[in-house]
Amino acid sequence: MSVETAIREILVKIGEDPNREGLKDTPDRMARMFEELTAGYAASPQEIIREALFHIKYDEMVVVKDIEFYSLCEHHMLPFFGNCSVGYIPNGKIVGLSK
């Protein structure tokens, strides 16, 4: 079953008419939305940071504050967002955009 078909069925189950003007393109829009919101699930963190990993002689804590993030609640499939801070002590390697 396609995502579009599943969404169409959900609309019917909640008493909506998926063919009415305001909803006729909704199954396709929602399918594209879920594809975009979950696009990073298959990404490999190792592949993403491979080019940004630098060898260094530095043993003090590295802290990055106020990192914006966007995610999808696995219980309700609704988007949420916020800010986070990350700190780590390098073990000969540091993640960054440049040395």
Per-residue pLDDT of the chain (99 residues; tens, 9 = 90+): 999 999 999 999 999 999 999 999 999 999 999 999 898 888 898 888 888 888 888 889 999 999 999 999 989 999 999 999 999 999 888 888 655
Contacts 24+ apart (CB under 8 A), 84-92: 87/61, 87/62, 87/63, 88/61, 88/62, 89/59, 89/60, 89/61, 89/62, 90/56, 90/58, 90/59, 90/62, 92/55, 92/56, 92/57
- Reported pTM: 0.67
> What is the set of domains in the chain, with CATH numbers?
1-37 (1.10.286.10), 44-99 (3.30.1130.10)
